[in-house]
Amino acid sequence: MTTPEDTCVSRFINGFDVYMKSMIKEAEDRENKRVRTVDDYLQLRRETFAAQASISFLSFGLELPEEVLLHPVMKNVTLASMDILCIINVSLRFNRTYKLTDVFIF
């Protein structure tokens, strides 16, 4: 059985940590009835989507050097992928969220 390399596991743990902290921020926003700007919302949404933790598994078994994943082009591709996934998710859940009148449930 193949096991993930240390860098893959480390990226998952870091991504999951970002996710957990963002969930706390989202709960605080909800409690304080804070409505974020679009840019602030998208930044937080990237984190609450747990995409960073999920994307870490894409490198499973590839043994990519950290330099490849930290390259500016790869960072931009990753960020664009996360934004596309978030926008699709928000679009699909809009009606439910609108009915609940909770802007944070996306």
Model pLDDT for residues 20-71, shown as the tens digit of each residue? 999 999 999 989 989 888 888 888 888 888 888 888 877 777 777 888 888 9
Would you say residue 106 lies in a domain? no
Looking at the predicted structure, is the pLDDT value of residue 106 above 70?
no
> Is the entire prediction scored with pTM above 0.75?
no
Would you say residue 53 lies in a domain? yes
Q: What is the pLDDT of residue 2?
A: 60
Structural domain tally of the chain? Answer: 1
Task: Name the residue among 13, 4, 7, 1 with its Cα closest to residue 61.
Answer: 4
Question: Domain span at residue 45?
Answer: 6-100
